[in-house]
Amino acid sequence: MTQQITAVSALASFLHKAKSRGQTVGFVPTMGALHEGHLAIVRKARQENNLTVVSIYVNERQFNNSEDFLKYPRHEESDLSLLQGEGVDIVYFPQTAELFTQENLPINFSLNGLDVLLEGASRPGHFKGVVEVVHALFMHVQPTKAYFGLKDFQQVAVLRKMVKELQLPVELVAVPTVRAENGLALSSRNQRLSEEQRQEALILFKTLCFLKEHYQKTPHNELLAQAKANIHSSSLKLDYLEIVDPETLISLNEHHPQALACVAAFCGEVRLIDNMLLIAQ
């Protein structure tokens, strides 16, 4: 039976008993508005652990735009129903006052520039907010493993660096991006798109596929220029499209054996992101 917990003391009590019996804890942090992408991550956590905890918290600290924060979809009842259907043990609704205490905030450490590229450049301070809330949640849950989707590839890279630098006793597990049948990456923000916009947004997936298909067949700069032209010819407003090193996220100016294509664009007022690994054939 799924338990709903809002107080960190109640959560700690429940988890202490489980861990004293040698049970492992899989943790999936979310901002709610759950979809099949989230549920795939939850299933992975359930497969690999005795106990599964899912948190739902819309973190204002990682929003650059207050209007975007207010418009972020919130569907608590349907989220709970989905998680109960998946057999999640605990749904945790953390309270802001208990999250951002001095003892929960991470000590200063270097992200080696991972937080200022791509999403970091477009959304200054975003990853500071991500690091703060995830660190606090790790302090509350103290999971064996924590699970994140690769649609937010840069977020995974940032959090891996946090775990390594702070020597946190948790294993990060990255779960592949879940896509609709037409290829659109599943995202809570998709709920704000009209049916017409969902079709228009497919240009992102099509462009990534174009890059993957032609990677190393076409000169690097020419390939990137063609890909950007594809998006510019659509109704979407391109924020960035870059081919980067998957480890450092630094932009590449020539073909490498492995690279990552990252894109962000506005579909109407909704900002969408996606990525795809490019492997030289």
User: What contacts 171, CB < 8 A, 6 or more positions away?
Assistant: 144, 145, 146
Q: How many CB atoms lie within 10 A of CB 267?
A: 24
Tell me the two tokens of residue 35: 């979809």
Instruction: Express the helix, strand and coil content of the chain in percent, nearest 5 each.
Output: 45, 20, 35
Which uninterrupted H or E stretch holds 240?
strand 237-244
Of the chain, the end-to-end C-alpha distance in Å amounts to 49
Of the candidates 35, 38, 232, 255, the residue annotated as catalytic is 38
| Residue 38 annotated in active site | yes
DSSP string, 77-142: HHHHHHHHHTT-SEEE---HHHHS-TTTSPPP---TTTTTSTHHHHSTTHHHHHHHHHHHHHHHH-
Nearest to 255 by CA among 281, 211, 219: 219
Instruction: Show which residues are catalytic.
Output: 38
